[in-house]
Structure 1
Amino acid sequence: MTQAGPGSVHVHISVPRQQLQLCEGDALVCSYAISTALHGVGELNGSGCTPRGLHRVRAKVGAGCDAATVFVGRRPTGERYSPGLAAQHPGRDWILCRILWLAGCEPGFNRGGAVDTLRRYIYLHGCPDGTPLGVPASHGCVRMANADVMDLFERVAVGTPVRIEG
């Protein structure tokens, strides 16, 4: 997979700006505030960093789920996020409503071995209302407001290129 061609839908994530842009060809379709890793950028498994480079959407998870749906291991738990549930599980990294699971496209950089984005379970995913966006705070994934990730989910397909720049 190389650069997106004219008219093709692709995603650009800027870690310094904490912004995700959805583009079609050279045209900006929409942009969203995000939160990438608290520990910065990096590709190594276990680093807690957001991986850079060219990726693709490997899978879309959560179609039709409510915005409060809680996921663990890419499966709905049957729980609905609420402040009460959050109080019962302090420190839990909440993955809500939709998941766009990424796979790296650059062998040796973000694909394969100890740098494999897919095996690191790096997602674009929803998070609780009130979670700070626009600042790095995640465990490696890209957090988005639930309404934003639900919108993006409908606009992209499996295979959509995603470039993460740090």
Structure 2
Amino acid sequence: MATEIQLEQRQGARRTPGLDAPMFRLRWFLLIAVVAPGATPLRAQLIQPNVIVSVRDQKLMFLDNGGNAAVYPISTSKFGLGDRWGSMATPLGTLQVAQKIGDRAPTGAVFHNRRFTGEILQPNTPGRDPIITRIIWLRGLEAANAHAYNRGIYIHGTPEEKTIGRPASYGCIRMKSSDVSALYAQLPIGAIVQISPDHLPKVSRAAKGTLVSAPASAPAPTHAVFTADSSKPGAEKASMTPLAPKTSVAPAKKSDTTAWLRNARA
């Protein structure tokens, strides 16, 4: 039975310190400036889109190119914070989106070693805790999170939705399937992810779980389309393509799932 602990690197419970407080305050200032009155277009282009993860709040904020925000409940590691091998902890600091896996996969699609198995789970399925729906693989940009990519630190969906809102993962950042799908659709390869032990910044335009439409002049977000084999090392070199307009998706039928899996293996 595939479980998250099999998919994430096994790590020990020792906590390691995060970034210095002044460095965090500087990054918070830059991120808040995007949505603050008078923020310049140049600054927004330099640091947008962005994701801020608050370990204290157990929430994730996504800021789009227009400075609009969406906030989602999450779950970080139940083993605390850090990046040491064997710690099973969530790393702090600045990371970026290195790969996106699961494009067009059905909601609840089970992944083992970043490959869709063909199985689909409903939320809170008893006794099951695999990685599902979407995988956003993170790469650390600092010494404090340098092992994040090789440890397999993801933002991903979980069937254990009843645990969302409190630390329950094995190092990754868990989200509800509907929420991780929405984030995946808007977040391009290379986007910055800031993981902080502090509260989320106050943003007046934040809408819980709902992303306000960006201005028409905002750049179209992009992402990479991955097949099953492209989850191997080096897949981050996959080509970038514009996101298609978001449409509602009906629950996947068995035939749809079979077709998706056949195409992924082609």
TM range (shorter): 0.7 to 0.9
Aligned to 1:41: 81
Deviation digits for residues 11-67 of structure 1 (CA, Å, limit 9, x no counterpart): 000000000000136934201000000011111121011000000000000010001
Q: Which runs of 5+ in 2 are unaligned?
A: 1-26, 32-42, 198-266
Q: Please tell me whether Structure 1 or Structure 2 has the larger radius of gyration of its CA atoms.
A: 2
1:141 to 168, 172, 177: 172
Aligned to 2:186: 155
| Superposed CA RMSD | 2.2
Aligned to 2:150: 119
Q: How many residues align?
A: 156
CA contact (8 A) 1:21 1:28 kept: no
Distance in 2 of aligned mates of 1:6 and 1:96: 32
2:145 to 101, 106, 110: 110
Q: Which runs of 5+ in 1 are unaligned?
A: none
Scaled by the length of structure 1, the TM-score of the pair is 0.86
1:75 aligns with 2:95: no
CA contact (8 A) 1:38 1:136 kept: yes
1:126 is displaced (CA, Å) by: 0.5
User: Which secondary structure state, in structure 2, belongs to the residue aligned with residue 103 of structure 1?
Assistant: strand
1:82 is displaced (CA, Å) by: 4.4
1:21 to 61, 65, 81: 61
Deviation digits for residues 93-126 of structure 1 (CA, Å, limit 9, x no counterpart): 31110000000001x3211xxxx10000000000
CA contact (8 A) 2:51 2:193 kept: yes
- If each structure's helix is expressed as a fraction of its own residues, which one has the higher value? 2
CA contact (8 A) 2:129 2:159 kept: no
1:78 is displaced (CA, Å) by: 1.6
Distance in 2 of aligned mates of 1:130 and 1:23: 23
Report percent identity of matched pairs: 37
CA contact (8 A) 2:161 2:175 kept: no
Q: Residues 82, 21 of structure 1: CA spacing in aligned structure 2 closer, same or farther, 3 A cutoff? A: closer
Distance in 1 of aligned mates of 2:98 and 2:161: 28
User: Which secondary structure state, in structure 2, belongs to the residue aligned with residue 153 of structure 1?
Assistant: helix
State the structure with bigger RCO (CA 8 A, min sep 6), 1 or 2: 1
Scaled by the length of structure 2, the TM-score of the pair is 0.55
